[in-house]
Structure 1
Amino acid sequence: MNKSVLDASALLAYLNEEPGAEAVEKSLAAGSAIGTVNWAEVLSKAMEAGIAPETLAAELEKRGILGNTLDVLPLTIEDSMEIARLRPLTRP
C-alpha cells in the first residue's frame, strides 16, 4: 500500500538532489505513488535535460524504486472530478 502520493516537483527534487530530496527519499522507502500525468512531467523534464525517458525509467528500476516502492497510477475520470472539486480549497 502506498503511504504517500508524489507530484512531479517532489520526484524531481529527489532526482536532482534539491531541497526536500531527503523527505522524498523517506517517502519512497515507505512506499509511494505518482500519477501518470506527473510521471509524464518528470519524463519530459528528463528529456529537456538530455535524458531519454527509457534511461530514467531503467535507472529507477535498477535502484529498486520504479515498480517497487514507487507505483505509477492512472488518473481516472472520477479522480479528475475530485481534483476539480478540491481546487477552490487551494485558492485564497
Structure 2
Amino acid sequence: MAIPQRDQASPWPFVAMVGMAGCFFLYAASGLLAPWYGVVLLLAVWVVLFVVATRWWTPHPRRTLLLPVIAVVVWFAVLVLGEALFDWTA
C-alpha cells in the first residue's frame, strides 16, 4: 500500500519571510531618521504586512513575494515624505 504524496511546499513564502525579516530591520532602524511616532507608524504597517504574508502563505504563495517589495517602497516613501514635509533629519 503506497502512501499518497502531498503537494510539495512552495519555497516562495519562505523567501518572502526572509525579505520581511530584512524589512523589519529597516523599519526598526528608522529611529535614526524619524521621530518615535514615525517609527511606531512604520512598525504598525510592517505588522499588517507580516500578518497578510502569514495569511497568504498557503493559498497564495507567490503573492507573498510582493509584500517585502511593498514594505521597502512604503518605508522609503514615508522617510522621504517625512523629511520633505516635516523636516525629519538624523
TM-score scaled by structure 1?
0.25
Say which structure, 1 or 2, has more relative contact order (CA 8 Å, 6+ apart): 2
- Larger strand proportion of the pair: 1
Q: Which protein is bigger by CA-based radius of gyration?
A: 2
